[in-house]
Amino acid sequence: MKRKVLVAAHVVALALVIFIGGVCLARYLAYGIFYEMPIWMYDSMRFVLDHTGNADLRDPDDISILSMLFSLVACWIIIAIVVITLYRIAMRFVRRTLNSSGQG
C-alpha cells in the first residue's frame, strides 16, 4: 500500500511539473519571442487545415487559436521528454548511491 501511494505521488508530481512547465514555456514563446504569429506558422496551419478537409476553419481567429493550442501541446511534449529523462537519470543516480553505500 505504501509503495502504491509513493508511485501515485511521483506520477502526480511529474504530471504537475510537466503541465506547469509546458504552460510556462508556451507562454514564454507566445509573449516573449513571438508576440505575433509568425507567417510560417500561419501558412503551415492554413496548409494543414486545407489538406485535412477543414477549410471552414480558415478564419484568422480560428487559425491563431489552433496554432496556440498546437504550440501548447508541443511544449507539453517537449517538457515531458525533458522531465522524464531527468527523472530517470536522478533515480538511477539515487539507486547507484544507495547500492554503493550498502543501504539499498
What does the CA dihedral 54, 58, 61, 67 come to, rounded to 10 degrees?
A: 60
Confidence of residue 17 (pLDDT cuts 50, 70, 90): very high
Q: How confident is the model at residue 92 (pLDDT cuts 50, 70, 90)?
A: very high
pLDDT attached to residue 41? 86
Give the pLDDT of residue 62. 83
pLDDT at 97 over 70: yes
CB 42 within 8 A of CB 67: yes
pTM over 0.85: no
Continuous H helices in the chain: 2-27, 39-51, 60-101
Q: What is the pLDDT of residues 26-83, one digit of tens each?
A: 999 888 887 788 888 888 888 888 888 887 877 878 888 888 899 999 999 999 999 9
Segment 17-32 shows an average pLDDT of 92
Question: Which pLDDT score is estimated for 52?
Answer: 86
